[in-house]
Amino acid sequence: MQDMRMKQGIWVLAAVLLLGGCKAGGDYQGMEYAPNMYHSVAYEPLTQITDEGYGVMFNSLNNGRGEYYNTNKFNPFAMNMRLPAPNTVRRTANGWLPYRGANDTTGLRLSNKLVNPLPDAPSILEQGKLLYDINCKHCHGAKGAGDGKVADKYPGVANLTGDAIKGVTEGHIFHVITYGKGLMGAHGSQVSEEERWKIARYVKQLQKN
């Protein structure tokens, strides 16, 4: 009976010690299982840690590297973002090639002949409105009248429903969104080709109203 009580006491003491190890606070944050899941180290695009042993004491993957090693040794420039293969051309999810129209008066004139590749569907107009509200409304206004909040500070924002712009094509609008014109800056780096076509479709709808 005494031996049984002693064994029970040992188990109770072990349980107390085990539970005590789970307590966290102050400088001691308790024991962690798979700490690399809690404290993931993001790849730094500009600052590279090239020492493979840096932080090895904190790595639980047993891969021979430190937890903080973040250099891509397979890239000749130690970059984490791979460069595209030589002589390749980026395509969109729809298989479209990048827009090649020139950023000059000739390119603007030729853009009038561009045809919107998107289908004439209500869903395209809905998406175009959403994109217009995000990217254009603050300057051109909700109805395209050039009366957005930015126009209060910078007069001369284009009235998209005015007679001077009503006659332009969706291709022209696409080109201007890409490269900018007048007070408007280029948005080709912020708005994808497909999104630009959706906005152009919606602007033509605004002009009809």
Question: Is residue 125 within 8 Å of residue 202, measured between CB atoms?
Answer: yes
Q: What domains lie within the chain, and their CATH numbers?
A: 31-82 (no CATH), 105-208 (1.10.760.10)
Question: How far is it, in rounded angstroms, from Cα 151 to Cα 137?
Answer: 10
**85 pLDDT band (50/70/90 cuts)?**
confident
- Indicate whether 8 pLDDT > 80: no
AA identity, residue 103: N
**44 pLDDT band (50/70/90 cuts)?**
low
Contacts of 140 (CB under 8 A, 6+ apart): 146, 147, 148, 151, 157, 158, 159, 160
pTM of the model: 0.61
| Per-residue pLDDT at 113 | 94
For residue 8, CA distances in Å to 16, 18, 19, 39 come to: 12, 15, 16, 38
- Indicate whether 35 pLDDT > 70: no
Considering only CA atoms, which of 184, 181, 180, 176 is closest in space to residue 203? Answer: 176
- Indicate whether 154 pLDDT > 90: no
Question: Is residue 202 within 8 Å of residue 120, measured between CB atoms?
Answer: no
For the stretch 101-115, pLDDT in tens is 999 999 999 999 999
Residue 104 DSSP class: S
Question: How far is it, in rounded angstroms, from Cα 9 to Cα 207?
Answer: 85
For residue 13, CA distances in Å to 10, 20, 31, 177 come to: 5, 10, 19, 72
For the stretch 180-204, pLDDT in tens is 998 899 999 899 999 999 999 999 9
E-state strands within the chain? none
Question: How far is it, in rounded angstroms, from Cα 29 to Cα 92?
Answer: 47
- Indicate whether 136 pLDDT > 70: yes
